[in-house]
Amino acid sequence: MNLARLPRRGYVDAPTPIEPLFHLSELLGGRVNFWMKRDDLLPGCAGGNKTRKLDYSFADAIAGGADTIVTCGAVQSNHCRLTLAWAVKEKMDCHLVLEERVKGSYKPDGSGNNFLFHLMGVKSITVVPGGSAMAQEMQKVADRLVDEGRTPYIIPGGASNSIGATGYVACAQETVQQLYEKKLVIDHIVVPSGSAGTHAGMVVGMEGTSANIPISGINVSRRRELQEKIVHELVAATAERVGVARPIAAEKVRCFDEYVGEGYSLPTESMIEAVKIMASTEAILMDPVYSGKAMAGMIDLARTGYFDGCANVLFLHTGGSPALYAYTPTFMS
């Protein structure tokens, strides 16, 4: 596995910190030491994990002569925010297709990421109903742009194809090096599992570096069986791209769907508790859609003994805190 041969833009030029969560560890009984990989501190407007993926996606777009980016996400999409941010940096136009997964959730004057879309100068926003065929909806926008003489490049939701997932293969490699330098042995890693690129890339990276640290994904939308299938398919495609020769077994992909609640982006009591715990004990902001639900899952797994026998567990913080401000009533009630 030689990632140096794969083109990227260089958006990530330094490792993100790995920090101990002393107060959370104590709160959860002190039997396990919890740590956090702070990908919420990555470069890009308000930070977050998509910067690692977009490092490779934008390189592919620019190599192909694109002058315009089209991508999609939910109405408070962190991916859309960061795609727009890097388009601004690259002096490229950016058009967003937003899926209203919860009916009535899109508000043109909404706060959070929606506010940042407008502040950064998004060229257009197309809102489509939940369940729409997003690839087709993005293609419609791209076709219109071609008719206008532009050269668009479509980045899938979450930048979760083998190109984008390469960013998290690199993150796994970076993490293994940091653990070596810290003389820190991590027994388990917990990641949010949504569009699958982060989860798949980490699995491939751990296999490609022979670190073989087990990874558990906490689902934010789909049922376990479907999510594991989607993640493993992307694992296979990404492994082929980065040159991991041996097949990666499906058993390497493990997901938990008990913390999704009623659906994507819909608050749960455990998410609210987790966000409040992290803010009030570690002064770390989690987002209500991804990292908040993933942290809720890790806290519950710790309480129910899932990590018994582990000395150190690492949580991958994927960012997304701007979305908190669109959920103010949820936390202030």
User: What is the set of active-site residues?
Assistant: 77
CA distance 326 to 267: 12
3-class DSSP state for residue 24?
helix
Tokens describing residue 207: 């296999």
Q: Which residues partner with 37 through β-bridges? A: 18, 316
Q: Which tokens in the block code for residue 100? A: 């209203």
Q: Tell me which residue of 77, 78, 72, 71 sits closest to 49, measured CA to CA.
A: 78
Per the CB < 8 A criterion, the answer to whether 224 and 256 are in contact is yes
Question: In which order are the strands placed within the sheet that holds 215-219?
Answer: 18-20, 33-38, 312-317, 188-193, 215-219, 254-256
Please check whether residue 271 is in contact with residue 263, taking contact to mean a CB–CB distance below 8 angstroms. Answer: no
What whole-number distance in Å separates Cα of residue 54 and Cα of residue 56?
A: 5
Burial class (CB in 10 A: 0-12, 13-18, 19+), 304: exposed
CB 282 within 8 A of CB 299: no
Task: Provide the total of helices (H) and of strands (E) in the chain, helices listed first.
Answer: 11, 10
211 burial type by CB count under 10 A (0-12 exposed, 13-18 middle, 19+ buried): middle
Given a contact cutoff of 8 angstroms between Cβ atoms, the answer to whether 318 and 289 are in contact is no
Integer CA distances (angstroms), 119 to 44, 67, 89, 107, in order: 14, 21, 14, 15
